[in-house]
Amino acid sequence: MNDAAVRRVVRSKIVQGTLPRDRIGAVSATYGFDEVCDACSASVSPEQVQYKLDRAGSYGFVFHSACFAIWRDERNSMLSVGPTGTRLAFASHERRESEGAASN
């Protein structure tokens, strides 16, 4: 899955609540254990770096290093509009993606 596709999946998972939107939790890094990445759904092999976000009341979240960076960037770029957080703006990445598509 390319970065643009992972970004779309991550945004969707943040909106659905299956990936966290906040910065709460402890992050650790190690080599993978063939666990499934919570961003892209592919296994993190023992040859790859795995990031794990541990949160109270949760099993934690596993990411490839690139998927973790994408999740962190998307989480930081999301702007909540309204009290329920149902409408979100992804201004920076959507603009870059649409400009890239327009120039192709």
Average pLDDT, the chain: 82
Model confidence at 24, pLDDT cuts 50, 70, 90, reads confident
Residue entry with tokens 């592919």: 42
pLDDT of residue 1: 86
Which uninterrupted H or E stretch holds 100?
Answer: helix 91-103
**CA torsion, ordered 64, 69, 21, 92, to nearest 10 deg:** -140
Full domain range(s) for residue 75? 3-103
Q: How many domains does the chain have?
A: 1
CA dihedral for 59, 45, 20, 72, sign (positive or negative): positive
pTM of the model: 0.74
